Amino acid sequence: MNEPLQIIVTASGLVSGLISAYITLLNRALLAEVRQELAELEVRIVNRINGTYLRAQEAAVREQAMKERIERLAGRLEERNAAGPAGKRREGDKA
């Protein structure tokens, strides 16, 4: 009578251990998958932030260059106006 009970207890312990090992492996696999997805998401976020920052910097550089061009053109226009009628071209004159 003791023998069948001992076999059942041993078998249930073995099955319980196998199930826990299987669940542990599944949890590790899921955890690895979540970590990988998290790393990919982090890379996408960092790339997006860097891309936005670089575009903002490029826009600032372009804007500064445009301001410098406008200032140069304004300076030339002032020089021409200061030179008076002699500095102006007539319509018939060629450059």
| Residues 6+ away with beta carbon under 8 Å from 88 | 80
For residue 28, what are its two tokens? 């590790």
Q: What is the DSSP letter of 88?
A: S
Site of tokens 């372009």: 62
φ and ψ at 94, to 5 degrees? -100, 155
Which pLDDT value is given to residue 51? 76
pLDDT tens, per residue, the chain with 95 residues: 678 888 898 999 999 999 999 999 999 999 999 999 999 999 999 888 877 777 888 888 999 999 999 999 999 999 998 887 655 555 555 54
For the entire predicted model, the pTM comes to 0.47
